[in-house]
């Protein structure tokens, strides 16, 4: 399979991406079975960074970013490059140059289970960067890697085209074929939470489900 062929896979449709952008990662995780969230070591370089797009998956050997560069060259606009970097933090897999290239290519962001560098400028920029750590040391560029395959990033399985949503709370992965159903339930959860907030503001402080939960646990009701 050629490098260009590796960029040809089914992605989350744009109309679903538009809907997904309105939800917090926490909401999507809750309605997706409270699973699919990456380890908290993978976080945005700035609290206001958000990412939403289809995954372009990459696997590299620890400390080497050769295949990351290939993915950067062939990924399509909107793609979020998701890198299984083995949680190696002995050097950075990317910095200013690669982010500048990604922004010029109109990619959707980076989610990397490894370290980054050039933190001050990247944290102040508009391109979404989520990484597992920081290190000023640069990587090597000489070891083979793989693209557009299922990978494990932050303890979560990610397949090409899956939905990636990240914000200050972290990153959640929604399997591509489940996205539409998850968004339907997410809208209902947002409405229910809005109603509950209104009840709290009106003085109804005890959640309606609490006494039933206490009973099921064999405990006395409030």
Q: What is the mean pLDDT of residues 21-40?
A: 97
pLDDT, tens digit (0-9, with 9 covering 90-100), for 143-195: 999 999 999 999 999 999 999 999 999 999 999 999 999 999 999 999 999 99
Query: Quick one: pLDDT at residue 27?
Result: 98
Q: What mean pLDDT is reported for the chain?
A: 96
Buried b or exposed e, range 121-153, using 16+ CB within 10 angstroms: ebeebebbbbbbbebeeebeeeeebebbeebeb
Query: Quick one: pLDDT at residue 6?
Result: 87
Spatial CB neighbours of 141, under 8 Å, sequence gap ≥ 6: 64, 65, 66, 69
Task: Say which residue the tokens 């494990």 belong to.
Answer: 152
Spatial CB neighbours of 65, under 8 Å, sequence gap ≥ 6: 93, 94, 98, 139, 140, 141
Which DSSP state fits 139?
A: P
Query: Quick one: pLDDT at residue 93?
Result: 98
* 48: pLDDT strictly greater than 80: yes
**Band of pLDDT at residue 23, cut at 50, 70 and 90:** very high
Query: Quick one: pLDDT at residue 106?
Result: 98
Q: Yes or no: say if 111 and 80 are a contact pair by the CB < 8 Å rule.
A: yes
> Which domains, ranges and CATH numbers included, belong to the chain?
3-176 (3.50.30.40), 183-216 (no CATH)
pLDDT, tens digit (0-9, with 9 covering 90-100), for 50-85: 999 999 999 999 999 999 999 999 999 999 999 999
CA-wise closest residue to 36 among 192, 163, 167, 177: 163
SS3 content of the chain, % helix, strand, coil (to 5): 35, 25, 40
Distance CA(67)–CA(59), nearest Å, equals: 8
170: left (phi over 0), alpha (psi -120 to 50) or beta: left
Q: Residues, the chain, total?
A: 222
DSSP string for residues in 175-207: -GGGHHHHHHHHHHHHHHHHHHHHHHHTT--S-
Query: Quick one: pLDDT at residue 2?
Result: 86
* 4: pLDDT strictly greater than 90: no
* 1: pLDDT strictly greater than 80: no
pLDDT, tens digit (0-9, with 9 covering 90-100), for 97-153: 999 999 999 999 999 999 999 999 999 999 999 999 999 999 999 999 999 999 999
Spatial CB neighbours of 69, under 8 Å, sequence gap ≥ 6: 98, 141
**Band of pLDDT at residue 221, cut at 50, 70 and 90:** confident
């Amino acid at each position: 399979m050629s490098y260009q062929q590796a960029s040809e896979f089914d992605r989350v449709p744009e109309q679903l991406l538009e809907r997904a952008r309105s939800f917090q990662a926490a909401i999507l995780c809750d309605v997706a079975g409270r699973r699919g969230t990456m380890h908290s070591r993978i976080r945005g370089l700035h609290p206001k960074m958000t990412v939403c797009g289809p995954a372009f998956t990459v696997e590299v050997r620890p400390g080497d970013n050769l295949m990351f560069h290939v993915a950067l060259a062939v990924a399509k606009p909107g793609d979020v490059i998701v890198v299984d970097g083995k949680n190696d933090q002995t050097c950075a897999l990317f910095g200013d140059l690669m982010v500048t290239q990604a922004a010029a290519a109109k990619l959707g962001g980076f989610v990397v289970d490894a370290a980054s560098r050039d933190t001050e400028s990247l944290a102040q920029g508009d391109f979404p960067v989520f990484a597992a750590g920081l290190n000023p040391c640069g990587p090597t560029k000489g070891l083979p890697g793989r693209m557009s395959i299922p990978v494990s990033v932050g303890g979560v399985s990610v397949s090409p085209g899956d939905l990636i949503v990240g914000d200050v709370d972290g990153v959640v992965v929604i399997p591509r074929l489940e996205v539409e159903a998850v968004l339907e339930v997410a809208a209902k959860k947002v409405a229910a939470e809005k109603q509950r907030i209104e009840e709290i503001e009106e003085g109804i402080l005890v959640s309606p489900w609490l006494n039933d939960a206490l009973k099921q646990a064999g405990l006395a009701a409030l």
